[in-house]
Structure 1
């Protein structure tokens, strides 16, 4: 531990554990009050100090009780004004999910990440929490006919990897193959099998909920992954959204959706083997997709804003 880190730890212990005022800490350490303030700020940024907010208030909410009873999930309800802009509410949910992820992860773990608008937002709010021998793994392919997806997806995963000092493993395949036979052939490649093997040993998974309808379009439906004809077929098949680019109906069914034979993400059944699964959801217009995801059993933890939770409960 270097001298600066020792100073951060000392200042943080006096301030957060012993409840001393900054002026007293400054006198004890022989520095100015502003130096103590900077040390405390750096301690939070570098993960020496992690501040969390208990969910006790949310746990007494009828919304939380209803969702928890219906789906057996831990619900992390993010309160907010109904008149607040959706972007603000989504950002607050992303912040709470980032805090939860940082609380859950531990040394020597494999962390699965599904890319998308929601997780991109989460990655910007992650506090730094260095881990030992941890790995961040992409859970669903990202290429489409117009792009490799690597710049967008790589930035998301690298931000999470940087926060945890983790090795980052990308999944270099399309989100959807054009042909089932191509997927079967690729699944035999050693480089792909390496990623698939890591995905089978995930300790934690974090993902958003894609939706065919939404105030802010899901990346998979807005960035050329599915053409108009494919979208029409999905609507005819009652698809409402996806988890890890595996398509779902509102009733939680997915196995008989033809496009899923070409999808490359973890299915709900595969996700169910992961001990902790954080589903991050915001936007009332995604309620039907969220409901489908919960009915498919994808989550152990649901981070959701109050307005979206109410809309989901109203659909039950």
Structure 2
């Protein structure tokens, strides 16, 4: 394995001095294939950062329509229309990782909601040399069948490793069996400490859960909700959730019984976070996106361009 110094040298020769790979191979006394691998490794480690600026007039109707209606910033990710929802999510996750790298700086704290979307984003993070940063888990992950540590813990570790951050776990279940149990736990000092960190976030990063999506959130695929829970959500007109807190298409969340047992941040706390980045891929979550926007929970959307175009045309016009 080549040293960091050698990776820096290869990257400088290729990207700054614009030498060919054959010329670099001769300079480094190695093979062309090794040079190619070194450049890929340099990009992976963040030694080389490649940014492609989208034209400012890219799909202005879509951007302006969403911004005008909801007062948010939309970041469109170009993807071919024939891709599956899984592949679209991967592309959007990569775009989200780049956007986060631009906004997360030293001294900041980042709240993350575990799930399929954040798992995908965590795979695309590039290292950034920061100091005095925190990554805070937004909601509990345990269920009646599993501790949830593996899922939430791995996501938290990837974010903390990428940014050199302290990680703050939230060791509570995703849902308590009884609202009274949650009320009692929320008085514990260890829990209150994490809740206070959530109130001090600079950025919150989350996907939107929806049982309608072809890539359903983990909470809809694991042993988190039983038949009565699903019946209660349907009766309440729920269309989605953010960090396991549920809402309707009009953005309201009052009177939804499951929210009294959820460990995600209440929406008043979430709205006070300066930058709230919502990640959406595929049409299966658009009704949930509409609800989240109506509730004022989002400041930035990262979304694939075909879905954003359809959203602007069919739901907003």
The residue that corresponds to 1:223 in the other structure is 222
Specify every segment of 5 or more residues in structure 1 that has no aligned partner in the other structure, as ranges: none
The answer to whether the Cα contact below 8 Å between 2:232 and 2:257 also exists between their aligned partners in 1 is: no
**1:22, distance to aligned residue in structure 2 (A):** 4.7
The residue that corresponds to 1:80 in the other structure is 79
The residue that corresponds to 2:140 in the other structure is 141
The answer to whether the Cα contact below 8 Å between 1:290 and 1:312 also exists between their aligned partners in 2 is: no
- SS of 2:201's partner is coil
The residue that corresponds to 1:305 in the other structure is 304
The answer to whether the Cα contact below 8 Å between 1:89 and 1:305 also exists between their aligned partners in 2 is: yes
The residue that corresponds to 1:121 in the other structure is 120
The residue that corresponds to 1:262 in the other structure is 261
**1:131, distance to aligned residue in structure 2 (A):** 2.3
How large is the Cα RMSD of the aligned pairs? 2.3
| 1:1-316 equivalence runs, <5 A | 4-17=3-16, 19-22=18-21, 31-32=29-30, 34=32, 36-56=35-55, 59-313=58-312, 314-316=314-316
Measured in 1, the distance between the counterparts of 2:306 and 2:210 equals 17
Q: Deviations over 1:71-130 (max 9, x none)?
A: 222211112222222211111111111121222211222111101111111111212223
Measured in 1, the distance between the counterparts of 2:62 and 2:288 equals 18
Measured in 2, the distance between the counterparts of 1:15 and 1:255 equals 57
Of 302-311 and 34-43, deviating more is 34-43
Identify if the C-alpha distance between structure 1 residues 40 and 81 changes in structure 2 by more than 3 Å, giving closer, same or farther. closer
**1:245, distance to aligned residue in structure 2 (A):** 0.8
Of 298-307 and 113-122, deviating more is 298-307
**1:283, distance to aligned residue in structure 2 (A):** 2.1
Q: Deviations over 1:141-186 (max 9, x none)?
A: 1112222211111112112222222222210111122222211111
- SS of 1:65's partner is helix
Q: What TM-score, normalized to structure 2?
A: 0.90
- SS of 2:160's partner is helix
The answer to whether the Cα contact below 8 Å between 2:236 and 2:256 also exists between their aligned partners in 1 is: yes
The answer to whether the Cα contact below 8 Å between 2:212 and 2:284 also exists between their aligned partners in 1 is: yes
The answer to whether the Cα contact below 8 Å between 1:59 and 1:75 also exists between their aligned partners in 2 is: no
The answer to whether the Cα contact below 8 Å between 1:47 and 1:130 also exists between their aligned partners in 2 is: no
Q: Deviations over 1:47-71 (max 9, x none)?
A: 2222222233574442222112212
Q: Deviations over 1:221-271 (max 9, x none)?
A: 221211111111111111100011110111111133232122111233212
Identify if the C-alpha distance between structure 1 residues 220 and 45 changes in structure 2 by more than 3 Å, giving closer, same or farther. same
**1:209, distance to aligned residue in structure 2 (A):** 0.4
Measured in 2, the distance between the counterparts of 1:214 and 1:108 equals 36
Count of aligned residue pairs for this structure pair: 313
**1:20, distance to aligned residue in structure 2 (A):** 5.0
The answer to whether the Cα contact below 8 Å between 1:239 and 1:250 also exists between their aligned partners in 2 is: yes
Q: Deviations over 1:272-303 (max 9, x none)?
A: 22222211111212110011111112222111
**1:13, distance to aligned residue in structure 2 (A):** 4.2
**1:216, distance to aligned residue in structure 2 (A):** 2.1
